[in-house]
Amino acid sequence: FLAGFGSLMQDVLWCFSQVKGTIDIGVTEADIISTVEFNHTGELLATGDKGGRVVIFQREQESKNQPHRRGEYNVYSTFQSHEPEFDYLKSLEIEEKINKIRWLPQQNAAYFLLSTNDKTVKLWKVSERDKRPEGYNLKDEDGRLRDPSMITMLRVPVLRPMDLMVEATPRRVFANAHTYHINSISVNSDYETYMSADDLRINLWNFEITNQSFNIVDIKPANMEELTEVITAAEFHPHHCNTFVYSSSKGTIRLCDMRTAALCDRHAKFFEEPEDPSNRSFFSEIISSISDVKFSHSGRYIMTRDYLTVKVWDLNMENRPIETYQVHDYLRSKLCSLYENDCIFDKFECVWNGSDSVIMTGSYNNFFRMFDRNTKRDVTLEASRENSKPRAILKPRKVCVGGKRRKDEISVDSLDFSKKILHTAWHPSENIIAVAATNNLYIFQDKVN
């Protein structure tokens, strides 16, 4: 790891690096970014949007001539992953919005990723072509067949270089396995299987088999009138291929072991924090609903995001989290308004940095927050075009809760709730982060000294 990497907030100054997307005031809904994910080396950065498209950026090689430009990300491939569909039986549209992208570890020259919408998961192969064969005997360079009687000698076709072409091809389509909306996909550490989770069920797939999947979790009640809880997120353990977790709308996390039973309806561990009676309100359950769950890289901890907080749990302690971080507690007194305008149902994601020492999550007004687990310091930064000068250092932002507002602070009532940072990603080993702000993708890096 780089020296001083991510461990002390005061050492890290975040700078603007790049922004992708248009500056237009009116946002085309299809361009809204719905997922962001680095691959395992950080060389590639993928985004999915509401229009069903996937855009992959590749980091350029660092050049000695321009040491300040620490490897910029440029478009590598763009393809239409999912199309809108129509369920004729229910008379309902199936959105093409990409809910999640997950990369497979690289095993050969090609890159593989999983992308999913509400109903269908697809495995995409992204490969480069920089040579083409020339000198066929039976056809000429345009592909037209040559008259055999005109051929007087044989030659061996040779591969000649061509302009680099990046192709994306769908290699597998995993369909018709989910009645409800898929919210998560997770690649297993065995690299042979993966899971897809919807509101009520989790299915286990083998990458090679598309017409079958195993149902490993089913929380659909026999009597649907009794439905009070849904699955909100799920993830495999990074090292133990038999272990996974899933979170619920009631603020609970269940850890399951696939070795114990085929249907993992009985959890091995159950994580839930007892409710604070002094904070109880009609909105308590809604704000306790977990919108994202992520294992640490070490596999020792899980992080959960609910509406107002991020929590870190030790796998060995089920009765409460070991750390709780307030993301935007000033919203607690506004819950009724946020319920009315539906913001209370926004699903924020959360991410670990490469060393599990810093965690990051988004908020409103294009703010995003980082929490250093060691120093307990936190910072609020903003993704905005105003701070978009190359290598400009991001200035910490502050929300004024009451009383006198200082010059650079913003009051709670001035926050723009339409600008929400739901999706962020952190490079696996460096201090590079990608932040999706509606239709723009911001890339920030730490300051190069």
What angle is formed at CA 431 by the lines to CA 427 and CA 436, rounded to 5 degrees? 60
Mapping DSSP to helix (H, G, I), strand (E, B) and coil, where does residue 187 land? strand
CB nearer to another protein: pick between 152 and 278? 278
Question: C-beta of 226: minimal distance to another protein in Å?
Answer: 7
Question: C-beta of 343: minimal distance to another protein in Å?
Answer: 12
Helix (H) or strand (E) holding 337: helix 335-340
Question: C-beta of 206: minimal distance to another protein in Å?
Answer: 23
CB nearer to another protein: pick between 223 and 449? 223
| Tokens 């090292």 -> residue | 239
At residue 424, φ and ψ (nearest 5 deg) are -140, 165
CB nearer to another protein: pick between 69 and 220? 220
CB nearer to another protein: pick between 181 and 419? 181
Burial environment of residue 148 by CB neighbours within 10 A (0 to 12, 13 to 18, 19 or more):
exposed
Distances (CA, A) of 173 to 81, 117, 121, 168, 353: 11, 12, 6, 14, 31
Question: C-beta of 13: minimal distance to another protein in Å?
Answer: 34
Mapping DSSP to helix (H, G, I), strand (E, B) and coil, where does residue 224 land? helix
Question: C-beta of 276: minimal distance to another protein in Å?
Answer: 11
Give dist(CA 263, CA 415) in Å, integer: 45
The candidate with the shortest Cα–Cα distance to 368, out of 387, 354, 355, is 387
CB nearer to another protein: pick between 214 and 339? 339
Binding positions for another protein, rule: CB under 8 A: 89-95, 118, 179-181, 199-200, 220, 222-230, 232, 249, 278-283, 285-286, 289, 332-337, 339-340, 342, 345, 413
CB nearer to another protein: pick between 247 and 353? 247
Question: C-beta of 279: minimal distance to another protein in Å?
Answer: 7
